[in-house]
């Protein structure tokens, strides 16, 4: 009985620590994907975006326009939108098993059909661990009133 009780105590102490380490590693992996997303947008790295976005991506812009993976990447390829810079802060990652949610504040400078635009927004990204690894399945941006 004493051995069983000792085993239960050890498991109660070790299990949360092991879970926290795994969650921390996942959070770091998601933060790297967030940086890869930013880099790919600014560099027009379409193969990187194709890999990062899940095939069933729902991309909701701060304007309310909704794209899927194909329409969003095609719009970038056509030059309708060109990201010049993204400055992100207040980044938070929360992991729920095979799903990760990112919230963030972002200042975006871009060209929209050649016209300069600055966007002050918060966004939400949802990543799901797929067979090919973590992929973004949803992007939702909300413009902050000036």
Distances (CA, A) of 34 to 2, 116, 135: 48, 24, 10
Per-residue confidence of the chain (146 residues) as pLDDT tens digits? 555 444 444 444 444 444 445 558 999 999 999 999 999 999 999 999 999 999 999 999 999 999 999 999 999 999 999 999 999 999 999 999 999 999 999 999 999 999 999 999 999 999 999 999 999 999 999 999 86
Element (H, E) at 82: strand 81-96
Fold of the domain built from segment(s) 2-143:
Nuclear Transport Factor 2; Chain: A, (3.10.450)
pTM score, whole prediction: 0.83
User: Is 122 in contact with 144 (CB distance < 8 Å)?
Assistant: yes
Of 110, 133, 132, 135, whose CA–CA distance to 121 is shortest?
A: 110
Backbone angles phi, psi at 69, to 5 degrees: -55, -50
């Amino acid at each position: 009985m004493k051995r069983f009780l000792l085993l239960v105590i050890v498991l109660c102490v070790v299990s949360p620590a092991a879970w926290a380490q795994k969650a921390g590693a996942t959070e770091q992996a998601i933060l790297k994907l967030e940086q890869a997303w930013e880099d790919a947008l600014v560099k027009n790295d379409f193969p990187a975006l194709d890999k990062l976005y899940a095939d069933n991506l729902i991309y909701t812009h701060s304007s309310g326009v909704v794209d899927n993976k194909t329409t969003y990447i095609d719009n970038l390829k056509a030059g309708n939108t060109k990201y010049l810079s993204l400055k992100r802060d207040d980044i938070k990652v929360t992991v729920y098993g095979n799903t990760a949610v990112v919230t963030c504040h972002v200042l975006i400078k871009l060209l929209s059909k050649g016209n300069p635009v600055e966007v002050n927004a918060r966004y939400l990204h949802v990543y799901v661990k797929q067979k090919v690894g973590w992929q973004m399945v949803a992007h939702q941006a909300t413009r902050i009133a000036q």
